[in-house]
A and B are shown apart, each in its own frame.
Chain A
Amino acid sequence: MKPLSLMTMALALGCVWTLSAQNPLSGETKNFYTQIKTNLVKSAEKMPEANYSFQPTDSVRTFGQIIGHVADAEILFCSAAKGEKKDSNAEKTLKSKAELVAALKDSFSYCDGVYNSLTDASGVEKVKFFGRDMTRLGVLNFNIAHSNEHYGNIVTYLRIKGLVPPSSESSK
């Protein structure tokens, strides 16, 4: 590597460290978000199309409905954090793997903007969530907790179908 490239990388890493040090809480929230986003997108891609209609028992969502529900909820939480009105209805309207993976990725693209612009200062600002005041950081952390709950559902579905969940894959 050229010395200039090393210097550029060192400067970039320094900037990231400085931003993280200035925004420890929102920085951790972004890390949690990136982790669950990665696991959910990989899970959606890993499950074969034929298993998108799979449900372990009649009283629970199909795999595809869970993906749609997570996509809808991401939009719900992130639009509240952003102060926008935005609806999503993937769970009730989409069926195919291609449509649902696209909807999930679109929801995360929307949320990326919200999480990436988050700072510790903007995190303590109040936003409206279902008519109540809540901190922006609180709404975005609740979103992560909700996504984790459904990732727990998804892991069980994947395992029942003989697939290794992304979070249990060996790191390469």
Chain B
Amino acid sequence: MTRYSMMILGSLSVAGGLYAQQATTEAAALKAAYNGIKNNVSKAAAKMPDDQYGFKATPDIRTYGALIAHITDANGRTCAAVAGSTPPGSAGSKTSKADLVEALKASFDICDGVFNSLSDEDATKTVSAGRGGPRPKFAVLWGVVTHSNEMYGYMSVYMRLKGVVPPSSEPRQ
């Protein structure tokens, strides 16, 4: 590995989940990616002070709290659909840190059940979740991961604007 590749690896926040685990099958790669972003989003929600949950970087975008609610709703709805369970109620009306952190954790609990039970046999299965008809189960779950990564990209800028270091940039222990 070249020195420059190592530098890039160090700056890839997705690499935490990736590098911590062997991901030699599709199911393992998906689980590693999910655990990486779940860890970052959960820590980011816990780390931002309560009085900054109403902060937004500019007026025409979501508040920090609304970003957490959006991830919560998207993940909870999609994972419940994949699991075949009743979707949780929306977190859209919640504004306090305590309520939103709790709702986020509940949505990850639903997703944990889905991601932790994945096996390579799931590669050929389809599910109906979100828009359109049945789609490959793995693709729907990669959608959960990529969408959460996009939202985490917003959150990390908000955190930096408030002088808070995003979890993915904390020194590795």
- The answer to whether A binds B is yes
Interchain CB contact under 8 A, A57 and B160:
yes
Q: Collect the chain A residues with CB atoms within 8 Å of residue B24's CB.
A: 126, 133-135
The distance in angstroms between the C-alpha atoms of A153 and B154, with both chains bound, is 5
Interchain CB contact under 8 A, A32 and B143:
yes
Q: Collect the chain B residues with CB atoms within 8 Å of residue A153's CB.
A: 153-154, 156-157
Q: Collect the chain A residues with CB atoms within 8 Å of residue B150's CB.
A: 148-149, 151-152, 155
Interchain CB contact under 8 A, A138 and B26:
yes
List the A residue with the shortest CB-CB distance to B5.
A76
Total interface residues in chain B, CB < 8 Å = 51
Q: Collect the chain B residues with CB atoms within 8 Å of residue A56's CB.
A: 57, 157, 160-161
Interchain CB contact under 8 A, B33 and A142:
yes
Question: Given that A24-B139, A87-B5, A160-B58 are known contacts, is A145 also in contact with B160, CB under 8 Å in the complex?
Answer: no
Binding site for A on B (CB under 8 A): 1-2, 4-5, 8-9, 11-15, 18-19, 22-26, 28-30, 33, 37, 57-58, 60-61, 123, 126, 135-136, 138-139, 142-143, 145-147, 149-158, 160-161, 165
Binding site for B on A (CB under 8 A): 24-25, 28-29, 32, 36, 56-57, 59-60, 69, 72-73, 76, 87, 89, 123-124, 126, 129-135, 137-138, 141-142, 144-146, 148-157, 159-160, 162
